[in-house]
Amino acid sequence: MAVYAAHLTRTLQGTPSVFQVTAQEALGSTVKPALRKLVEYLAAVYPNKCGWCTRWYHELYLLLDLCLQYHYLKHYAASFSECFYGLLRVPISPSSEFSSGPRLPQALERGSLALLVLVPYLRDKLEQLINQWREDLEDGRLGKTKLDQARKAAVKLYSIAHFVTESTKLIVLARYLTGKGEAPTLPLHILGLTLRDAPPEEPDENTWADFFRNMFNGQLGNAVVTFPMVWRVGSSAVEYGAFAVQLLRWWDARAPLALHALPPPPPPQKEERDARWLNVCPVCLQRWRVPTVLPVSGYVFCYTCISRHLRGAGACPVTRLPAAERELVRLYLDT
């Protein structure tokens, strides 16, 4: 009877809106880049002690994410970001849930853990390798050897696979919006899961309000701090900290928009060093290959040189003025 009641509690919850689904996905994608910024800062301040963390950041985050997602899947039947927005995972087919009670079946729990942790890790590693091959292809460093031909094919195949994957995600979300599908995301659709609003948590016997009330009244013997109380504080700090990081990233992303309201700066003064860069790229000091101008400084670069530099530094390599890759303008010159 208890298992049957748990099944009804989980399957009769409300269906989350698309805003909850997209918000939890955005929150989940915020944690890794935010922690990377912190690791890079520590590595710059303490290069001898923390310099190795940047080289092994993907593996360190893999271990952290594995522990975090496993805890939330085991205790809340949801990922970290889903739990933050009050959601839980429910099998679309109800027959498989009667044997597991409030937890997900073991097979679905392991599958969820793999798609939440292992697949993103492998995707990031593959994307890093593909981007390196794509830059080599744009620079003309890939020849006609079998290995280089295979790398060219891999770049094209990855682009096609990425397009198909993103299109499939859009189709799954559209079916969810129109009520024709129950899974809002592609990983949930693969696992046969959907999202529901989580039931309210049962109140604990000991709370922080009781602790401070007893301390204020002088009843020190009744002022008890339990492990669940400490754990709730830590987990809440992690969840709301991730939300604060997401808010800061949104604010930082919209900050460049304010630059468009400023008057255009005066043209840069001609300097002696500019003569060395006449009709050449200031980065590679070679003739332009796909000439591209950076409007914030007015200098012309090779597209691959300046795009690679902006992705890493976010500033003009000559004037150090802040710039982004989306500001680049292609030049079509008569040669």
**CATH number of the domain enclosing 323:** 3.30.40.10
* Whether pLDDT at 6 is above 50: no
pLDDT tops 60 at residue 13? no
Instruction: Point out the domain boundary residue: 156, 172, 197.
Output: 197
144 and 7 within one domain: yes
Q: What's residue 135's pLDDT?
A: 79
What's the pLDDT tens digit per position in 19-57? 888 888 877 787 788 788 788 878 878 888 888 888 888
Domain that holds residue 321: 272-330
Among 141, 170, 197, the domain boundary falls at 197
Q: Is residue 86 part of a domain?
A: yes
Question: Does 185 lie in the same domain as 288?
Answer: no
Is residue 18 situated within a structural domain? yes
The count of domains in the chain is 2
251-275 per-position pLDDT tens digit: 666 555 545 555 666 666 666 666 6
Strand order in the sheet with 300-302: 300-302, 291-293, 329-330
Is residue 35 assigned to a domain? yes
